[in-house]
Amino acid sequence: MSDPEVPDTEVLALDAADPLASFRDAFEAPQGVIYLDGNSLGQLPKAAVGRLDTVVREEWGRGLIRSWNDAGWIGAQARLGGKIAGLIGAEPDEVIVSDSTSANLYKLVVAAMQARPGRAVVLSEPGDFPTDLYMIEGALRTMGGGRRLELRANADIEAALNAEVGLLVLCHSHYKTAAVRQMRELTRAGQAAGALVLWDLSHSGGVLEVDLNGCNADLAVGCTYKYLNGGPGSPAYLFVARRHQQTLVSPLSGWMGHARPFDFVDHYEAGGGIQRFACGTPPMLSLAGLEPGVDLALEAGTPRMAAKARALGDLFIRRTDGLEGVRLASPRDPSLRGGHVSLSHPDGYAIMQALIARGVIGDFREPDIMRFGFSPLPLSFAEVARAAEILADVLATRAYDDPIYRQRSAVT
């Protein structure tokens, strides 16, 4: 196979018609890499480099403590939350950036179960992202009182909703298969049973159209280092619908959620609005690194991002259909699929390592899933078509049989 390949006319036409093509230039793109892992760690927006430099040298270096006021640090969590609200169908005062997705799950699970006394069950799905289930377990262990987590396959969720369920926790787009859950219907069903409903948007925010208020959602969390390109470990966001903001109380009652943090009084009094779900001093460097990615997503707009991610996924599916030993593990219907496409193969781990050695970076999830993420802003159709060709070549030549591709690293 010659290298590099010239894109065919279909691919050239897709790139020529791409309204988001100019966003590619806004990202750092390492030479020789086709990056299909923006669903795990998004690429670096070039603007983040300058922004971080300013925050470090000017605001921290010279401004020092004054920058909490003068550089707007103290309002950054709410300001960024307000921006992210525009990507997930929320109002600006319903979202705050704070802590990790894991910590936000804890806060909202405890707050929700305290608001549903007499109901002992948190209902969720098996097999989705583990930290969600771990945090529910930890929250319920702390709360005690016989509270427990029950898991039901997605198809059986509605039937399992009863008067014991205080909270339903679901991931909008599944981290392994990218299958999208029906937010409107499941929210309505949970609420009809008297439960609150919490959506994890980690694989949706910045890539799919999400309409939290249009679906009458109660609560949501999501992470920012995937499709929002916020940087490794950038802080997460949480959403609490306005109607719940005065009744739900965070169990992590840190001073940044206090009504008057700088009164330094001895007793906690939850602040008004979404600010009560903040906890400790915000991580300013990480918040600064996040903002450029969010701004790019707002400029592009979710309808265009979602349409392109689906089109990239469709192209990849068409070009990998029928490869020997490979099975599509994501919905073929793009309206039921999130931003990535998963292919399963018994040698998936070794194949992914061989792909990475050829510059095609995706990731692997147990037991046999190769994930290919289609971040709509930095990727071109030509890159996606080329990645499919390289996958076909790795399979045809059995390049993955080399034992070096079977060694496991800590992070897969």
Tell me whether residue 200 is one of the annotated catalytic residues.
Answer: yes
> What residues from 238 to 297 belong to the interface with ligand PLP (CB under 6 A)?
none
**Which residue's CB is nearer to ligand PLP, number 180 or number 390?**
180
| 94 counts as binding ligand PLP under rule CB under 6 A | no
| 345 counts as binding ligand PLP under rule CB under 6 A | no
| 139 counts as binding ligand PLP under rule CB under 6 A | no
| 202 counts as binding ligand PLP under rule CB under 6 A | yes
Bridge partner residues of 121 (DSSP): 148, 165
Number of residues that bind ligand PLP (CB under 6 A): 13
Tell me whether residue 129 is one of the annotated catalytic residues.
Answer: yes
Positive or negative, the CA dihedral 351, 353, 357, 360 is positive
**Which residue's CB is nearer to ligand PLP, number 271 or number 289?**
289
H-helix or E-strand spanning residue 141: helix 130-143
Q: Which of 271, 251, 274 is nearest to 263 (CA)?
A: 271
Tell me whether residue 402 is one of the annotated catalytic residues.
Answer: no
Compute φ and ψ for 40, nearest 5 degrees.
Answer: -110, -50
Tell me whether residue 226 is one of the annotated catalytic residues.
Answer: yes
**Which residue's CB is nearer to ligand PLP, number 80 or number 236?**
236
Applying CB under 6 A, which of residues 107, 119, 181, 203 lies at the interface with ligand PLP? 203
Catalytic option among 132, 200, 314, 347:
200
Q: How crowded is the C-beta side of 31, counted as CA atoms within 13 Å? A: 0
Compute φ and ψ for 327, nearest 5 degrees.
Answer: -125, 135
Stretch that binds ligand PLP, among 127-135, 160-168, 270-278, 338-346 (CB under 6 A): 127-135
Applying CB under 6 A, which of residues 60, 68, 129, 134 lies at the interface with ligand PLP? 129
Strands 95-97 and 237-240: antiparallel
Q: Which of 240, 224, 217 is nearest to 294 (CA)?
A: 224
**Which residue's CB is nearer to ligand PLP, number 99 or number 218?**
99
| 171 counts as binding ligand PLP under rule CB under 6 A | yes
Distance of alpha carbon 61 from alpha carbon 43, whole angstroms = 27
CB 365 within 8 A of CB 372: no
The site for ligand PLP (CB under 6 A) is made up of: 100-102, 129, 131-132, 171, 175, 200, 202-203, 223, 236
